[in-house]
């Protein structure tokens, strides 16, 4: 399996960058190896974190349930269901968990039909570890975001951690949450608002995500808002009396242009993208209604709030210029950026590297630009969280030719090597849970770091306003 666990960095001519990297590598101590040729870095992000005595038990347990995990993984991948419609996946996962000894399953938790919660109670009060399983697919693209693998990694991880609890008579709880509708619909944010994670009193939240690029315990994502806009104008004969009309389409086109001009003044990680969904239907009638949807992304909630305001101003400009009325609606369930807890990441790295995984130094991982957005972001502002990226491969071991949300990635997400990689992640996530349950003082340190790195969270509800 080693061949797809190697994080490759392309060879580059000596430059300030390479010298900088070299300095980093050299300063990194005895664990670091810089290979020649197609250079890759073997780091020990786990430096200082001792390997758990439960490592072998975890690994063996996951291996022992490979057949069950494999059939669940395949079943979800080959039956893609959209957000909040994941009826088969919900049935499959809950009925499987109901068969597991010691697990108490609540279907449709919080009255969210395709959400669930499965609890394994240890021998008494102790740390409560949450694992999140995703299982929604994308319209027309199937499991092109590989959520089947996320479900598999969290399922395997939760079961393995519970097995260690059972055998070692450990205190605490493992909870597997079935979190539907990650794609645009914010299942976890809805569950957060419904108080499901709070009521369960979780201490940490664990999940993972497949990717076509390298492995990393650090997921860096943007905060995001999604908006719907409608312009209302007035119909008029486009030739006989256009001056009597108010052109809704022009209002929206002006706004779209204003956003395009604004892009030059955006930060490199800011994104504004969207589409016009309707703008009229008859060529000889001034358009009385136009509508579109846009998504806005920025580094964190403060920058997002500012950028969303700037985008709203662009839409207001279109309304002002044309006289059309604007209905600007921020959809519910915006996503906050994901913040990774360093200590959880280091624990993950210890297991992942022991299993043959190779990671770049955390200093490099942490400098990467954000990509995409996830509803796990909101949870990461409430509890210490990790969502490691894991690279997946095609059946023949090649890297998928394109990343998530593409047809090529959907194919890779159903491959055997991708499933095997999700088992490595399951073991590593289980390792994190067991570390939190067994290492004296670790949870306190994790919470201390969490409090120190906490940023103000700006709670903005969905809102609709006319201008």
Ligand X SMILES: *[C@@H]1O[C@H](CO)[C@@H](O)[C@H](O)[C@H]1NC(C)=O
Contact segment (CB under 6 A) with ligand X among 201-209, 236-244, 255-263, 300-308 equals: 300-308
Contact segment (CB under 6 A) with ligand X among 42-50, 135-143, 410-418, 441-449 equals: 42-50
- We find the least distance from the C-beta atom of residue 165 to ligand X, in angstroms, to be 15
Residue entry with tokens 């709880």: 173
Question: Is residue 327 near ligand X by the rule CB under 6 A?
Answer: yes
- We find the least distance from the C-beta atom of residue 355 to ligand X, in angstroms, to be 17
DSSP-derived 3-state class of residue 40? strand
DSSP for 344-381, written as a single string? HHHHHHHHHHHTT-----HHHHTTSPP-S--THHHHHT
- We find the least distance from the C-beta atom of residue 47 to ligand X, in angstroms, to be 4
Structure-derived torsion over alpha carbons of residues 373, 374, 380, 383, reported in degrees to the nearest 10: 170
> Which among 464, 219, 260, 236 has a CA at the least distance from the CA of 344?
219
Question: Is residue 198 near ligand X by the rule CB under 6 A?
Answer: no
Q: How many residues bind ligand X (CB under 6 A)?
A: 29
Q: Which listed residue (401, 459, 463, 467) binds ligand X by CB under 6 A?
A: 459
- We find the least distance from the C-beta atom of residue 35 to ligand X, in angstroms, to be 21
Q: Which listed residue (11, 104, 260, 277) binds ligand X by CB under 6 A?
A: 104
Which residues face 69 on adjacent strands? Answer: none
Burial class (CB in 10 A: 0-12, 13-18, 19+), 408: middle
Q: Which listed residue (115, 175, 192, 344) binds ligand X by CB under 6 A?
A: 192
Rounded to whole angstroms, the Cα distance separating 221 from 243 reads 47
Nearer CB in complex with ligand X: 193/235:
193
Nearer CB in complex with ligand X: 57/366:
366
Question: Is residue 189 near ligand X by the rule CB under 6 A?
Answer: yes
Nearer CB in complex with ligand X: 27/401:
27
Give me Rg for the CA atoms of the chain.
24
Angle between helices 66-78 and 147-168 (to 10 degrees): 150
Q: Which listed residue (39, 70, 106, 302) binds ligand X by CB under 6 A?
A: 106
Question: Is residue 398 near ligand X by the rule CB under 6 A?
Answer: no
- We find the least distance from the C-beta atom of residue 413 to ligand X, in angstroms, to be 26
Contact segment (CB under 6 A) with ligand X among 133-141, 189-197, 259-267, 351-359 equals: 189-197
Residues 6+ apart with CB under 8 A from 418: 146, 149, 210, 392, 393, 412
Q: Which listed residue (38, 95, 198, 309) binds ligand X by CB under 6 A?
A: 309
- We find the least distance from the C-beta atom of residue 226 to ligand X, in angstroms, to be 10
- Per-residue binder mask for ligand X (CB under 6 A), 47-86, x = binder: xx--------------------------------------
Which residues face 328 on adjacent strands? Answer: 229, 465
Say if residues 162 and 176 touch (Cβ distance below 8 Å): no
- We find the least distance from the C-beta atom of residue 293 to ligand X, in angstroms, to be 9
Which residues inside 351-370 make contact with ligand X, applying CB under 6 A? Answer: 362
Helix (H) or strand (E) holding 17: helix 16-26
Contact segment (CB under 6 A) with ligand X among 54-62, 82-90, 270-278, 304-312 equals: 304-312
Nearer CB in complex with ligand X: 193/420:
193
Nearer CB in complex with ligand X: 116/390:
116
Q: Which listed residue (68, 75, 228, 235) binds ligand X by CB under 6 A?
A: 228
What angle is formed at CA 322 by the lines to CA 317 and CA 328, rounded to 5 degrees? 50
Contact segment (CB under 6 A) with ligand X among 335-343, 352-360, 412-420, 435-443 equals: 335-343
- We find the least distance from the C-beta atom of residue 329 to ligand X, in angstroms, to be 4
Question: Is residue 301 near ligand X by the rule CB under 6 A?
Answer: yes
Question: Is residue 304 near ligand X by the rule CB under 6 A?
Answer: yes
Residue entry with tokens 């996962």: 93
Q: Is the dihedral of CA 186, 191, 195, 196 positive or negative?
A: negative
Structure-derived torsion over alpha carbons of residues 374, 338, 454, 303, reported in degrees to the nearest 10: -80
* Three-class SS of 295-349: EEEECCHHHHHHHHHHHHHHHHHHHHHHCCEEEEEECCCCECCCCCCHHHHHHHH
Q: Is the dihedral of CA 137, 143, 146, 148 positive or negative?
A: positive
The contact set with ligand X (CB under 6 A) reads 45, 47-48, 104, 106, 111, 189, 192-193, 223, 228, 230, 301, 304, 306, 309-310, 327, 329, 334-336, 342, 346, 362, 378, 459-460, 464
């Amino acid at each position: 399996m080693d061949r797809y666990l190697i994080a490759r960095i392309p060879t580059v001519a000596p430059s300030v960058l390479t010298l900088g990297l070299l300095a980093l590598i050299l300063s990194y101590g005895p664990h670091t190896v810089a290979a020649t040729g197609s250079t890759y870095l073997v780091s020990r992000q786990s430096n200082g974190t001792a390997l758990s005595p439960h490592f072998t038990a975890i690994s063996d347990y996951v291996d022992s349930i490979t057949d069950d995990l494999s059939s669940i993984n395949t079943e979800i991948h080959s039956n893609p269901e959209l957000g909040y419609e994941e009826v088969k996946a919900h049935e499959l996962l809950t009925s499987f968990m109901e068969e597991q000894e010691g697990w108490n399953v609540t279907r449709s938790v919080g009255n969210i039909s395709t959400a669930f919660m499965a609890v394994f109670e240890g021998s008494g009060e102790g740390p409560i570890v949450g694992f999140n399983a995703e299982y929604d697919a994308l319209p027309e693209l199937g499991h092109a975001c590989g959520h089947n693998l996320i479900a598999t990694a969290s399922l395997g991880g939760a079961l393995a951690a519970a097995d260690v609890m059972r055998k070692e008579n450990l205190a605490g709880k493992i909870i597997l949450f079935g979190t539907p509708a990650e794609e645009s619909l914010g299942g976890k944010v809805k569950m957060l608002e419904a108080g499901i994670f709070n009521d369960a009193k979780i201490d940490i939240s664990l999940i993972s995500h497949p990717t076509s690029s390298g492995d990393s315990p650090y997921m860096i994502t943007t905060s995001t808002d999604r908006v719907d806009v409608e312009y209302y104008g007035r119909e008029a004969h486009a030739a006989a009396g256009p001056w009597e009309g108010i052109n809704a389409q022009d209002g929206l086109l002006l706004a779209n242009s204003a956003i395009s001009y604004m892009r030059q003044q955006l930060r490199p990680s800011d994104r504004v993208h969207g589409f016009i969904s309707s703008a009229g239907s008859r060529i000889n009638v001034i358009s009385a209604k136009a509508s579109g949807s846009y998504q806005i992304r920025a580094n964190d909630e403060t920058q997002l709030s500012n950028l969303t305001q700037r985008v709203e101003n662009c839409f207001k400009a279109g309304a002002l210029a044309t006289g059309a009325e604007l209905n600007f609606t921020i959809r519910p369930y915006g996503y906050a950026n994901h913040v990774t807890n360093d200590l959880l990441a280091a624990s993950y790295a210890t297991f992942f590297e022991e299993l043959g995984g190779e990671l770049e130094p955390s200093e490099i991982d942490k400098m990467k630009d954000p990509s995409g957005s996830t509803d796990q972001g909101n949870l990461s502002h409430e509890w210490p969280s990790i969502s490691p990226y894991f690279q997946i491969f095609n059946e023949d071991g090649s890297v998928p030719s394109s990343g998530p949300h593409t047809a090529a990635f959907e194919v890779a997400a159903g491959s055997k090597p991708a499933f095997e990689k999700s088992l490595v992640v399951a073991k590593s996530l289980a390792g994190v849970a067991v570390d939190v349950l067994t290492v004296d003082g670790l949870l306190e340190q994790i919470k201390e770091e969490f409090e120190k790195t906490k940023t103000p969270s700006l709670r903005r509800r969905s809102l609709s306003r006319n201008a």
